[in-house]
Amino acid sequence: MAMLQFISHYNSRYGYVSGIGAVLNGGCRWVQLRMKSASDSEVVAAGLAAGDMCRRHGAVFIVDDRVHLVEQLGADGVHLGKGDMPVAEARRILGPDRIIGATANTFADICSAVEDGADYIGLGPFRFTTTKERLSPVLGKDGYVKIMERCRNEGITVPVVAIGGILADDVPEILAAGVAGIAMSGALLNAPSPAGETKRILQLIERKQLI
Ligand code: TZP
Ligand code: MG
């Protein structure tokens, strides 16, 4: 089944850890802790609690950017953007067993991340979002269709996850482009019930897989 990755980010209604708790209760089993402007000690405090909750729910726990904290947090891996540590260097530091995700905006980005040893790609943004600053050009549905077709033609099998401004209603058409999963933040945290919305989106993903 296609995957749902929750990207935790600052939200005035929830702390990082309680937001993660809500989506875990809704059934999400893949979490990325993204605390952009926080200090390392803040990331460690939240990350230890979040990682513990993820392990209890059997969820994969990824930390954004901070390769140097992966070990201390007992995280399953790290997600790296284009301006972060290069994937190949992170792989040398973390070894073969940790998950390394990489951000891409183009087919060329995907190819270089795959060559460098990324385990999954976050391809986006789908549409404008305020969750991320310095956003790359918006891809829209057509962008995903074109890029995923090139991936298939060129035999790229590394899972590509769509990200950026995605709402529940977008899920069927994005999955139809051939991505392996969806990453969401605002659509889950801003919903009246993040746990309920997580459950609803997981059902949408499951239903789409059956069509
Ligand atoms: N990378 C590209 S867009 C984005 C990230 C981390 C933000 C995703 O959050 P949202 O709220 O689902 O747009
Ligand atoms: Mg980053």
User: What are the pLDDT digits (tens) for 18-59?
Assistant: 999 999 999 999 999 999 999 999 999 999 999 999 999 999
Calculate the average pLDDT of the chain.
95
Reported as a pLDDT band with limits 50, 70 and 90, residue 1 is low
Sorted by where each begins, the domain ranges of the chain are 4-210
- pLDDT exceeds 90 at position 13: no
CB 165 less than 6 A from any atom of ligand 1:
yes
Which residue, among 113, 53, 54, 120, has the nearest Cα to 87 in the 3D structure?
113
126 Cα to the center of ligand 1, angstroms = 9
ipTM of the prediction greater than 0.90, yes or no: yes
Reported as a pLDDT band with limits 50, 70 and 90, residue 211 is very low
- pLDDT exceeds 80 at position 69: yes
CB 89 within 8 A of CB 108: no
Q: What is the DSSP string of 36-103?
A: TT--HHHHHHHHHHHHHHHHHTT-EEEEES-GGGHHHHT-SEEEE-TTSS-HHHHHHHH-SSSEEEEE
List residues bridging with 77 in a β-sheet. Answer: 62, 99
Reported as a pLDDT band with limits 50, 70 and 90, residue 209 is low
Query: Around ion ligand 2, which residues have CB less than 5 A away?
Result: 65, 81, 84
Give 4-210's CATH code, choosing from 3.30.2020.30, 3.40.50.300, 3.20.20.70, 1.20.210.10.
Answer: 3.20.20.70
Q: Which residues contact 42 (CB under 8 A, 6 or more apart)?
A: 35
- Among 80, 103, 120, 131, the mutation site with the greatest number of ligand 1 atoms within 8 A of its Cβ is 131
pLDDT at site 207: 83
Which residue, among 157, 159, 191, has the nearest Cα to 175 in the 3D structure?
159
- Alpha-carbon distances, residue 38 vs 90, 106, 208 (angstroms): 21, 29, 37
**Residue whose tokens read 């977008």:** 170
| Ligand 1, atom nearest to 64 Cα | 6
- Among 123, 185, 188, 190, the mutation site with the greatest number of ligand 1 atoms within 8 A of its Cβ is 185
Q: Which residues contact 114 (CB under 8 A, 6 or more apart)?
A: 121, 156, 158
- Among 128, 129, 144, the mutation site with the greatest number of ligand 1 atoms within 8 A of its Cβ is 129
User: What are the pLDDT digits (tens) for 96-150?
Assistant: 999 999 999 999 999 999 999 999 999 999 999 999 999 999 999 999 999 999 9
Taking the C-alpha atoms of residue 154 and residue 144, their distance in angstroms, rounded to an integer, is 15
